[in-house]
Amino acid sequence: MGYRVVVAGATGNVGREMVNILAERQFPADEIAVLASSRSVGDQIEYGDTGRMLTVKNIEHFDPAGWDMALFAIGSEATAVYAPKFAAAGCTVIDNSSLYRMDPDVPLIVPEVNAEAIDGYTRKNIIANPNCSTAQMVVALKPLHDAATIKRVVVATYQSVSGAGKIGMDELFEQSRNIFVGDPAEAKKFTKQIAFNVIPHIDSFLDDGSTKEEWKMVVETKKILDPRIKVTATCVRVPVFVGHSEALNIEFENELSAEDAQRILREAPGVMLVDKREDGGYVTPVESAGDDATYVSRVREDPTVDNGLALWCVSDNLRKGAALNAVQIAELLGRRHLKKADETGEEDFQAVLTAE
């Protein structure tokens, strides 16, 4: 017997990716329901490359009773309306919005990093998916933290326009086309021209001069990995369609050489080390698109601080940064708690993570 699974927001970038990944990973689902707003009702979504078509239903009229879990990709406002309803009906919500991430009664999960924290989900029957930039960063940081204890992280992000949804991708495409033909490159979604430009501004500004995106990376890293770690972030939107990149500077309590860090990362769950120290011997967003791994390159020692390292981290933000992590949480929930399907145990799950 398998699970009855809901994907809410299935017509958006992340929702469609969730559906695809459920199919790719052969998630043990007996039934899949895809939900969206009323304007998408009746649309057809293919279940991965299976040829099986799913018909979009109206989330407003959907009864979640009897469904096991729901993957939400509908934004904070809609989540505030529907997540409590689904959770109260016994359908565990795995939420991709920022609404519940810092709720102390809601686990914030990256399975390779803090799988055991999922045990607290029963308090609200809701599990939070972290911010896309946070997710890939903590996957890279976790094994290094275990080895030498991280004191401080300075991160600069280079975030693709897909993080702003289809409207962001459309704006980059339209502006680029307009510039080539001599037409105005009007900014609509973003605060300034994004084509052939970078914008050091993601989400709203806070009183201290940081942005909400930067704040998310700080507080989410502390909740997921270790509250003692000091984090400072500068988040930048760049003219890339898919794939977030990060330049990380890490200070440790204990000595950790670049060679040892490379060895640790090579064996770490969810990480793919590509660090050849030659032309092209590193990963860029173009290569990460469509892949599940968090790629790490350019690992080197920082001589300006005691026990410092610098590295480059790249991942497909629609996958590990959102949809893949949500599906991995669903897999973890099934293996560790619901146990309806014929699934492997926790040790086998960790082996799967290591192999990815």
- The span from the CA of 266 to the CA of 332, in Å, is 23
Is 14 part of any known ligand binding site? Answer: yes
- The span from the CA of 43 to the CA of 45, in Å, is 7
- What's the number of CA atoms in the CB half-sphere (13 Å) around residue 48? 10
- The span from the CA of 185 to the CA of 193, in Å, is 7
Is 237 part of any known ligand binding site? Answer: yes
With a CB cutoff of 8 Å and minimum separation 6, the contacts of 212 are 203, 204, 205, 206
- Residue 277: exposed, middle, or buried by beta-carbon count in 10 A (0-12, 13-18, 19+)? exposed
Of 145, 235, 244, 313, which one is the catalytic site residue?
244
Is 249 part of any known ligand binding site? Answer: no
Is 263 part of any known ligand binding site? Answer: no
- The span from the CA of 106 to the CA of 254, in Å, is 32
- How far, in whole angstroms, is CA 146 from its chain's centroid? 22
Tokens describing residue 208: 């201290």
- The span from the CA of 18 to the CA of 291, in Å, is 14
Is 317 part of any known ligand binding site? Answer: yes
Is 138 part of any known ligand binding site? Answer: no
- The span from the CA of 223 to the CA of 226, in Å, is 6
Of 91, 132, 235, 313, which one is the catalytic site residue?
132
- Residue 347: exposed, middle, or buried by beta-carbon count in 10 A (0-12, 13-18, 19+)? exposed
Is 163 part of any known ligand binding site? Answer: yes
Is 184 part of any known ligand binding site? Answer: yes
Is 319 part of any known ligand binding site? Answer: no
Q: In whole angstroms, how large is the CA radius of gyration of the chain?
A: 20
Is 61 designated active site?
no
Is 157 part of any known ligand binding site? Answer: no
Phi then psi dihedrals of residue 87, to 5 deg:
-60, -40
Is 152 part of any known ligand binding site? Answer: no
Is 145 designated active site?
no
Binding residues for NADP(+): 11-14, 39-40, 162-163, 184, 317
Known catalytic residues? 132, 244
Binding residues for substrate: 159, 237
Binding residues: 11-14, 39-40, 101, 159, 162-163, 184, 237, 317
Binding residues for phosphate: 101
